[in-house]
Amino acid sequence: MAPRPTSSSDALFARNRWAFSVGTLGRDMVYALVSLYLIVFLSEVLNASDSFVWWAGWLILGARLFDAVMDIVMGSIVDNTRSRWGHYKPWITVGALASAVCTLLLFTDLGLPDTSYVIAFALIYLLWGLTWTMNDIPYWALLPALTLDQKQRERIGALAKIFATIGLFSVVVAILPVTSALGDDTRAWFLFTAAVVAIMLAGQLVTLFGVREPRLAVEQPKVTLRGLWRVVTGNDQLLWTAIAMVLFMTGYVTTTSFGVYFFKYAYRDAAMYTPFGAVLGVAQLTGFLVFPLFRRRFSRRTLYTGATTTMVAGYLLFFFSPMDMVWIGAAGLLLFVGQSFVVVLMLVFLTDCIEYGHWKLGNRNAAVTFALQPFINKVGAALGTQIVSVVVVLSGINSAATRDDVTPGGLLMMRMAMLVLPPILIVAGYLIYRAKYRIDEEMYARIVDELAERGQLTKGQGSSNDDR
């Protein structure tokens, strides 16, 4: 079994749990800004042409898919890093600073004609993705390096997602009223972006100086490119988890990315997007807060089943609801409480795949394995954003001078893409998990015991890599 906690290890766990989790606040603010509102900025603020939005959508898709593949490479670079600060902190620092600059450039009016702007936008977006990867891979790979205990990992993951949710929905709730108060122009959006970036950098400082990484595993040989392929393809549980998560994230991002358009063109009151976002934020926070309570009584599989059922019920209610915030708000509550449970479960499924890969393949490639999480998020966000960009063009939303210019057929197209396609993808991901994922609590405990017997896990969890 994993080493029994001592008072010193408990104190270290508490410190790491909070210092790690605080860092997610600003990171998710930036990620929400780019993944949910970049297309909105282009179409609604810059008033870009249909051709620009069309090409920008495809460029975002291509850049994110390329960047997603680079996540795996970045994972091997992180695993191969040897420094006095460990594997993760040097890359977290460089990635945070570089992605901050690129985020500011994305929300800057460059004043170029369409063709030149498309080229400049493509380069900036590609750089943003690569620099974000420099931060994202080592940041999340740090989580499973903090403890081997499944319950502790769930507690870290739940708290991290609470801070991430606060960050995400702070942007959702604030972006329209704040940018409107600042003038509702490109300058207003740049100032909002600058504030978000500043919060991200402050949170990263908390993680960098607050986290003390314990020594959990014996140092592994550096991974080669040939070995990298084996790490990814040889871990069957990792691959099935990744497929299930991509389907879930594509559905989730597609729904959330349509939010502004739904309230402006279907609900016909864009101002209601802000209180609706607040309701969703409360729902998601509630889910993360109560997850540990439910986890004490129910297995992961039972919780995943319940969460998926809750989300499907929310989609059905949303689709058939009248344009009334009571009904739409109730649907949102169901959707985002269920979503919060799935997000935490997916996170801990991935962390357990690290020990599984270590046990099966002989090497502990934590960053490479956990690189699948941002890979999944980026592929899901890329597909979701592309669905939105295609639909807003084909439905006539982007070219509509007013909300009255969008036809009933165009609105139906948006509603189908927002509320029918996503639950199909989410259920497909759940079915794959049920059929293929097999690392339950008993199997995980057996894996940790065998790794300890092999001498590949250390017993002294109280020491810190920062003390080297």
Task: Tell me if 418 sits within 8 A of 253, measured CB to CB.
Answer: no
Task: Tell me if 95 sits within 8 A of 134, measured CB to CB.
Answer: yes
Q: How many CB atoms lie within 10 A of CB 183?
A: 11
Task: Tell me if 414 sits within 8 A of 266, measured CB to CB.
Answer: yes
> What does the radius of gyration of the chain's CA atoms come to, in whole angstroms?
22
Q: What does the alpha-carbon distance between residue 352 and residue 286 come to, in Å, rounded to a whole number?
A: 25
pTM: predicted TM-score of the whole model, two decimal places = 0.70
Q: Quick one: tokens of 136?
A: 């994202």
Chunked mean pLDDT (size 10), the chain, 468 residues = 58 90 94 86 80 76 76 78 79 95 92 77 88 89 81 85 88 90 92 97 95 67 63 83 92 89 89 86 86 89 96 96 92 93 88 87 74 76 84 87 87 94 96 93 88 72 44
Supply the DSSP string of 163-204, one letter for each residue.
HHHHHHHHHHHHHHHHHHHTTSSHHHHHHHHHHHHHHHHHHH
Q: Quick one: tokens of 64?
A: 């994110």
| 142-176 confidence digits (pLDDT tens) | 887 888 787 888 888 889 988 988 998 899 889 98
What is the widest separation between alpha-carbon atoms in the chain?
A: 69
pLDDT (0 to 100) of residue 363: 77
3-state secondary structure of 464: strand
Alpha-carbon distance values, 431 to 5, 199, 298 (Å)? 36, 38, 19
Which residues make Cβ contacts (< 8 Å) with residue 302, sequence separation at least 6? none
pLDDT (0 to 100) of residue 111: 76
Which domains, ranges and CATH numbers included, belong to the chain?
Answer: 13-467 (1.20.1250.20)
Q: Give CA 207 to chain center in angstroms.
A: 18
Q: What does the alpha-carbon distance between residue 227 and residue 431 come to, in Å, rounded to a whole number?
A: 31
Alpha-carbon distance values, 449 to 107, 213, 444, 453, 456 (Å)? 50, 22, 9, 6, 10
Task: Tell me if 79 sits within 8 A of 87, measured CB to CB.
Answer: yes
| 64-105 confidence digits (pLDDT tens) | 778 777 777 787 788 777 777 777 899 999 999 999 999 999
pLDDT (0 to 100) of residue 467: 42
Q: What does the alpha-carbon distance between residue 134 and residue 74 come to, in Å, rounded to a whole number?
A: 7
Q: Which single residue is written with the structure tokens 């890093």?
A: 81
Q: Quick one: tokens of 174?
A: 């604030």
pLDDT (0 to 100) of residue 63: 77
Query: DSSP letter at 217?
Result: B
